[in-house]
Structure 1
Amino acid sequence: MSTSMPYGARIIITRDHVQDLREHGPGACLTWHEDTHQVQVVGPHTALKPSRMIITGYQGLREMADHHAEEGHVVTDDDLAQDLTDITADWRTDWPGIRAMNLQVEDLRGALADTGAYLSAAPTYMLPRHGLPQMTDYYRLAGGTRLASVTVTFGFTEPARITANDPDDDTQPIADLTLGTGGTLTHAATSRLIASTVTSALTQDR
């Protein structure tokens, strides 16, 4: 389902959006579209479009519900929708920076989606006091439990950091890699290099 709204209006997440994301299952993302101003659940390849702000993924929704349960709270879809509405208001402030970084990582996201690695949560945007913007994406393989985080700097000017963890064994990361992305590689080649490294981190010793 989708909900239309003026650009300047608050992004409202409803229980119907929550239910729609749950029904779509792994690989789906709840997004806000910059051009149409709609909240919509989309598949992994559509979610990577730069004009879409990722609100949460299917797994992110489950983790939010699990967190409430661990705190001893009975959570409803209305509660989850309100939480997502509040969180999205904060991300909307960072949207110009996220939008710019979305353009940079579109090829990377696409290469990973082609291998079955999907975005599982909203990205984390960072603007260091000194230096260029950074953004971290979070990926899982279809049918897998491992979570990989990929942090890149605007223009790939700094080394990319890739970590992979297994929630069933949180004693140490499966992988913690720093990948030099400067030099003579093209943007597309850099994206493919990072994507192959992420896929390896998610599949090693499986």
Structure 2
Amino acid sequence: MNVKISSLAEQTAKCIFIAAVLASFVFFGWRVVTKRAYVEHERAQCEALAVSAALTAAEAVSKDEALAKLVRELGEAEFVTDHMSMPGNNTASVTIGAEQGGFLIRSKAASGWNSRSPQSIEFELRLQPGGEITYKNENDIKRASRIRAARANISNKDPLKEHLFTFPHERPCPAPFTALTAKVSGFSDKTVYILILNE
């Protein structure tokens, strides 16, 4: 009787081991097969956040005199949002610099800590003294146009979450500004999030 129980236990253990090995092969195979789509989505998400963050900062500095004054006094200021509150733990930051009566705005977005294929995208624009926005090249104009078009089609069905752009390292910021995240499609096979100014 003991021999039968022992044999049954060994067979059960072998079956569990084989099932675990097969499951791991399936899991790793699935990750390999889906990696390309995953990376494309990560890049699309980072691009959407980087471009929309720069546009949001341009709107903020053009509409908020306290923010514009702060940047002019400092010459350049970096603003970040809390990645813990961002969708997917993505990070977004903007650096606003005073430049010949206008502003140079550089943004950066990166995948969250839990990404299996971390991506990072940077974007740059200039806000001219008259309020016109200019870009480095034709490709950047197209990227900004896509974000503007996406903003125009935002659905009110999804709740918009607020994010505070403030100085990094929890330093007191005299002129923070807030943005909202909105879910949009057309950038990847899945929806992505963009930032819009919270007015």
Q: TM-score under structure 2 normalisation?
A: 0.26
TM-score (norm 1): 0.25
- Point out the structure with max Rg over C-alpha: 2
Answer 1 or 2: higher relative contact order, Cα 8 Å, separation at least 6.
2
